[in-house]
Structure 1
Amino acid sequence: MELTQKQFKNINLQDVFFASLINDYAEFSDWFARKAEDSAYVFEDDAGSINGFLYLKTEEDAITDVAPALPAKKRIKVGTMKINARGTKLGERFLKKIFDHAIHNDVEEIYVTVFPHHDVLINLFQRYGFLQAAEKHSANGTELVLVKSLTQLQGNLVSSYPLIKNTGTKKYLLSLKPVWHTRLLPDSILKNENARIIEDISHTNSIHKVYLAAMRGLEALKPGDILLIYRTTDDAGPAHYRSVATSVGVVEEYRSIHSFVSREEFMAYCQPYSVFSDAELNQFWARKNFPHVFRFTYNAALKRRVTRGEMIEQYGLNPNDYWGFMPLTQNQFDSIIRAGQIDEGIIVN
């Protein structure tokens, strides 16, 4: 099951999935027909039935059909978003796509209009920092206008996502072997196309990640700490050139595996966001050989991968240090992400 981009003309409006949208918006079918050449994201199950739909649009004008009107800004409008969640993380996957578009297009805000009876969707948006800014009154009824700022940090690291608080936070380099890196961070593979984050992202792409490791020092992790993800060599060449920094995330929580009172509690914590299979998790629980369990948000992929050699020769990292997990100075972190051409808007001082 993949999240794919399709032109409207290639999307089946007769799918029962669209019935509620047609019921909520009298003009939906006509609008859909006018968008024939435009594209939207569609999530289909194995039988080809639609379970998710997302249409995004970049705007710069004032929003005058809401009360109060919103001033002109560069925004992403979530034109239409509907999901059949069924206990999956599909909503978060769609939000990740929205945030990727917003950062890539350097917008100041994201906004969406939603009817009050869609309380599950409203709660999802609010969790990630969308606040009610206005109401939209039309023949279809009254919708809430929810707005997400991409210039200001909010109450916590989840509501602030994808923004990263740079000042007053500790920074660490965290190494991942290629096999785990690819499973955990699908849009941080070794390709340099700047637009990749808004193209074909694997279904494993989610905002939150849970990882287990045995590397020394991980017990020091605290919420808000920043992780610079480092992909170790694939043995296709010297580590000096093939080991690279690829991504940035923010720690949500650290736990020792011994803090879980049962296998069931451990599995419930890890399963929703872990790249490990149930069999692997069961093995980790039985053996306790990966005692460090931590959850982090996956905020951004570096557009340019920064090599181990570059980090040593230009940014002062010590080749003799333990590169599995090690602290970075503020200057080292800033220099590496600058070299990695990260979207500057997500780093807030």
Structure 2
Amino acid sequence: MNLQSYLIDTNILIGLEDDHAVNPAYARFLSLSTKHKIDVFVHAAAMDDIARDKDLRRRQISVSKLNKYRVLSKRRGLTETELEQDFGTLKKPNDVVDATLLNALKIGAVDFLVTQDKGLHQRALRHSTDMARRVLFISDAADLLVQTYEPKEVPIRHVSEVAAHTIDHEDGFFDSLRDGYRGFDNWWNDKCIKQRRPCWVVYEDENLAGLIVRKDETGDDTDAVTKSTRILKVCTFKVHPEMRGVKLGELLLKQVLWFAQSNAYDLAYLTTFEDQTSLIELLEYYGFVRAGSKADGELIYERSFGSSKLVPKHSETVFQTTRRNYPRFLVTDQVRCFGIPIQEEYHDTLYPDLWEPKQADLFVGASRAESPTRPGNTIRKVYLCRAPSKLAEPGSILFFYKSTSKELPSRAITAIGVLEEVTMATSTKDLMLKTGGRSVYGEKELDAWQASPAKPVKVINYLLVGYVDPPIGYDELKKMQVIRGFPQSIFEIKGKPFEDILSRANLGFDV
């Protein structure tokens, strides 16, 4: 990624360096530019501003602060006449300084100029709209740094991002890693702690239950077989053996896939040994392919990402193409779309990431969204109903409508899924086998369905591919003609409403 460069005006320098509390926007800009090794300059012309200060002591202090930054030298032979031709009348010495800063921007010595001076912004606009776009207020400059360099977070409730040094690597959680890799402790200290590598962790009752260590790589420095530009390496992928029953591996893989897709990575990869059969099966299901192997026998599994519209393959079904490119999904003229109402309690269990009680301390124990559970952790989810509507082929798009609820959002479409299959269960045992613990229902609740050949229960298996942010509320849905009233059963979304709701979902990729 090309690094940006910023020229800061004297008023920004004062805001960063005076003896008052630093404005949050100033602090954020300085912190982000330092973190991402961004070039921040002051112009040599700023010395002219400082030189006009008649207070000698204050002038000396200002110069000492200026010396903390890299100085952008003046362009040799630049005259006031030339500056006036480009940037208008220069009545005061300060106008000459302003025009000199704009000249540095014009010739490409820096990418952006940061100033709180409205007059300087107006002078840039009079020159051209292109130059005006490159003259930023400090808050806009900080936002641009966030947008360009900070990774986009994904809304997965029970996965937290921490630095490696915050994790107790003496924890018994790491014993199997030490057994399999004699140099583990040295690797953890030298590569993870000293390089402050980011990690995704899942804790259950203060105990480490799942961990991923990640690293950004490029094609010039990677063990991946495919030499892409932006590569996400999963250095470590581990789930505590006692927690595998709640599908933490699937939860952590969802974090990897959503993060890589949201942050425009070209490739994600990890290495694993052949005996890790359950991990390999999970990886292959979501499109990872064995690309090669290392000298020590570790297998290299890779998955590519993109934002372009998926194209059908004659050798694959619609669902297979979606699964292989998850969380992107395939939309063609033949793919149908359905809305599925879901009650608040079941919504919170299936989609714990969206559970946001107004007063969390009063809701302890009130929801299965509070701790990692199998139905909430899985990508592959199950919904049960006796709705008469006949869903279409695997690969159909499903929009989940959260019915009237105590907690917001209420009466809104919140989640998107892709249909895997629909089957009919004719007994409680049949329900247990078909749901595989991925539904919102426990054994007693499944029994309460009283499934029988005469009254079968529809088992809808689907992949959760994303959330609608912000949710699409009832009034907006009516305006889009997605619904006419309060939906009580599965309904189909066709034509322009289907196109509109896909557009409104802000997916981040073309469909």
TM-score after normalising by structure 1:
0.80
Of 291, 299, 302, the residue aligned with 2:457 is 291
The structure with the greater share of residues assigned to strand is 1
Q: Specify the alignment match of 1:179 in structure 2.
A: 345
1:126 correspondence with 2:275: no
Where does residue 230 of structure 1 map in the other structure? 401
Corresponding residue to 1:76 among 221, 224, 232: 232
Contact 2:204 2:371 in 1 (8 A): no
Contact kept? 2:403, 2:411, Cα under 8 Å:
yes
| Post-superposition offset of 1:297 | 0.7
Q: What are the ranges of 5 or more consecutive residues in structure 1 without an aligned counterpart?
A: 192-199
Q: CA deviation at 1:334?
A: 2.9
3-state SS of 2:215 partner: strand
How is 1:267-306 mapped onto 2 (pairs within 5 angstroms)?
267-285=432-450, 291-306=457-472
CA distance in 1, matches of 2:241, 2:327: 22
Matching residue's letter, 2:411 = S
Change (3 A) 1:173 1:322: same
1:295-341 Cα shifts (integer Å, max 9, x gaps): 1111101121112211222x233515856321112432232232232
Show CA shifts across 1:58-97 (max 9, x none).
33x1055548x53232232212112244551222111111
Paired residues of 1:255 and 1:292 also in contact (CA < 8 A) = yes
Q: Distance in 2 between matches of 1:248 and 1:312?
A: 18
Determine the C-alpha separation between the residues in 1 that align with 2:356 and 2:495: 25
* Letter matched to residue 100 of structure 1: W
Are 1:145 and 2:300 an aligned pair? yes
> Aligned pair 1:207/2:379, yes or no?
yes
In structure 2, C-alpha distance between the alignment counterparts of 1:16 and 1:321, rounded to whole Å: 52
> What SS is found at the alignment partner of 2:450?
helix
Q: CA deviation at 1:130?
A: 0.5
2:294 counterpart SS class: strand
Would the alpha carbon gap of residues 95 and 120 (structure 1) be closer, same or farther in structure 2, given more than 3 Å must change?
same
Distance 1:331 1:187, change over 3 A: farther
SS at match of 1:116: coil
Equivalent-residue separation in structure 2 for 1:232 and 1:176 (angstroms): 6
After superposition, the Cα gap between the structure-2 partners of 1:320 and 1:222, relative to the gap in structure 1 and judged at 3 Å, is same
Task: Give the length in aligned residue pairs.
Answer: 324
Deviates more, 1:75-84 or 1:165-174: 75-84
Q: Structure 1 residues 106, 66: CA separation in 2 closer, same or farther (over 3 Å shift)?
A: closer
Structure 1 vs Structure 2 CA RMSD: 3.1
- Aligned partners of 2:405 and 2:255: how far apart in 1? 28
Distance (whole Å) between structure 1 residues aligned to residue 379 and residue 438 of structure 2: 9
Secondary structure (helix, strand or coil) at the match of 1:164 reads coil
Is the alpha carbon distance of 1:13 and 1:133 closer, same or farther for their aligned partners in structure 2, counting shifts above 3 Å?
A: same
CA distance in 1, matches of 2:254, 2:421: 20
1:165 is paired with a residue whose SS is: coil
| Secondary structure in 1 matching 2:278 | helix
Dislocated runs of 4+, deviation >6 Å:
287-290
Name the counterpart of 1:93.
Answer: 251
After superposition, the Cα gap between the structure-2 partners of 1:66 and 1:234, relative to the gap in structure 1 and judged at 3 Å, is: closer
Give secondary structure in 1 for the equivalent of 2:413. strand
Give yes or no for contact 1:213–1:290 (8 Å, CA) kept in 2: no
CA gap of 1:77–1:233, structure 2 versus 1, over 3 A, is same
Q: 1:236, 1:299 → 2: CA distance?
A: 23
Q: Distance in 1 between matches of 2:414 and 2:386?
A: 21
**8 Å contact 2:434–2:459 — kept in the other structure?**
no
Report the Cα offset of residue 164 of structure 1. Answer: 0.9
CA contact (8 A) 2:424 2:458 kept: yes
SS in 2 for 1:22: helix
Q: Does 1:245 align with 2:413?
A: yes
CA contact (8 A) 1:271 1:278 kept: no
1:184 deviates by 1.4
Calculate percent identity across the aligned residue pairs: 24
1:113 Cα deviation from its structure 2 partner: 1.6
> Relative contact order (C-alpha < 8 Å, sep 6+): which is higher?
1
Are 1:171 and 1:330, in contact at CA under 8 Å, matched by a contact in 2?
no
Indicate the residue corresponding to 2:367 in structure 1: none
Q: Separation in 1 of the partners of 2:508 and 2:400?
A: 16
Higher helix share goes to which structure?
2
Which residues of structure 2 form unaligned runs of 5+? 1-157, 358-369
Provide the secondary structure at the position in 1 that maps to 2:420. strand
Select the structure of larger CA radius of gyration.
2
